[in-house]
Amino acid sequence: MFVLDRYEGYEVKRLQECTRAELDAWVDANARSLRDQGSADLTYVNHVLLGGAVGAASASPYVVKAHGSELEYSMRGNAELSAWGGEVLAGAHAVVVGSEHIRNVVREVCGTVERVHEIPPGVDVELWRPARRTDALAELVAEARRDPPNPGNANERLPDDRNAERLASFLAGERPTVVYFGKLIENKGVQVLFDALRGMDARAVIVGFGDYRTELEERGAGLDVLFTGPLEHRHLIHLLAHADVAVVPSTFPEAFGMVAAEAAAAGCPPIVAYHSGLAEVARGLEEAYPPGRGGLASFPNGDSTALRERLAAVLALGGADRDALRAAARKAAVERWSWSSVARQILHVVE
pLDDT, tens only, 111-122: 999 999 999 988
pLDDT level of residue 40 (50, 70, 90 thresholds):
confident
Residue 41: which CATH number?
3.40.50.2000
End position of a domain, from candidates 69, 92, 118: 118
Q: Is-contact 113 106, C-beta < 8 A?
A: yes
Predicted pLDDT of residue 5: 73
- Classify the C-alpha dihedral 188-191-196-201 as positive or negative: positive
pLDDT level of residue 15 (50, 70, 90 thresholds):
very high
Identify whether 3 is part of a domain. Answer: no
> pTM of this prediction?
0.85
Longest dimension (CA), the chain: 61
End position of a domain, from candidates 118, 143, 160: 118
Predicted pLDDT of residue 55: 96
pLDDT level of residue 7 (50, 70, 90 thresholds):
confident
Predicted pLDDT of residue 1: 72
Average pLDDT over residues 297-301: 98
The CA R_g of the chain, rounded to the nearest whole Å, is 21
Identify whether 287 is part of a domain. Answer: yes
Q: Is-contact 93 62, C-beta < 8 A?
A: yes
Residues 219 and 276 in one domain: yes
pLDDT at 224 over 80: yes
Residues 145 and 268 in one domain: yes
Residues 150 and 24 in one domain: no
- Lowest average pLDDT, out of 3-7, 97-101, 162-166, 331-335, goes to 3-7
Amino acid identity, position 61: P
Residues 68 and 187 in one domain: no
Predicted pLDDT of residue 38: 85
Average pLDDT over residues 202-209: 98
| 3-state SS assignment for residue 271 | strand
Q: Is the peptide bond before 315 cis (omega within 30 degrees of 0)?
A: no
Average pLDDT over residues 132-136: 93
Predicted pLDDT of residue 26: 95
Q: At a CB cut-off of 8 Å and minimum separation 6, what does 90 contact?
A: 113, 114
Identify whether 173 is part of a domain. Answer: yes
* Rounded distance between C-alpha atoms, residue 249 and residue 190, angstroms: 6
End position of a domain, from candidates 84, 118, 152: 118
Average pLDDT over residues 151-162: 96
pLDDT at 37 over 80: yes
Average pLDDT over residues 313-333: 96
Residues 53 and 139 in one domain: no
Predicted pLDDT of residue 39: 81
Q: Which contiguous run of DSSP H or E holds residue 299?
A: strand 298-300
In a 10 Å sphere around its CB, with 0-12 CB exposed, 13-18 middle and 19+ buried, how is residue 207 labelled?
Answer: buried
Q: Which contiguous run of DSSP H or E holds residue 167?
A: helix 163-170
CA distances to 4, 87, 264 from 81, rounded to whole Å, are 18, 10, 36
Mean pLDDT of all residues in the chain?
95
In the chain, the number of structural domains is 2
Predicted pLDDT of residue 331: 97
Residues 112 and 213 in one domain: no
Domain span at residue 248 reads 133-336
pLDDT at 3 over 80: no
Predicted pLDDT of residue 4: 72
Residue 91 CA neighbour count, 13 Å, CB half = 20
pLDDT at 33 over 90: yes
Identify whether 275 is part of a domain. Answer: yes
Residues 212 and 159 in one domain: yes
Distance of alpha carbon 150 from its chain centroid, rounded? Answer: 25
Identify whether 257 is part of a domain. Answer: yes
Q: Is-contact 238 131, C-beta < 8 A?
A: yes
Identify whether 262 is part of a domain. Answer: yes
Residues 108 and 165 in one domain: no
Residues 148 and 275 in one domain: yes
Residues 286 and 156 in one domain: yes
* Rounded distance between C-alpha atoms, residue 81 and residue 84, angstroms: 5
* Rounded distance between C-alpha atoms, residue 31 and residue 45, angstroms: 11
pLDDT at 351 over 90: no
Identify whether 346 is part of a domain. Answer: no
Identify whether 351 is part of a domain. Answer: no
* Rounded distance between C-alpha atoms, residue 82 and residue 4, angstroms: 20
Predicted pLDDT of residue 349: 86
Nearest 10 degrees: CA dihedral of 165, 169, 172, 177? -100
Residues 246 and 309 in one domain: yes
CB atoms within 10 A of CB 240: 31
CA nearest to 230, candidates 178, 171, 160: 160
Residues 185 and 250 in one domain: yes
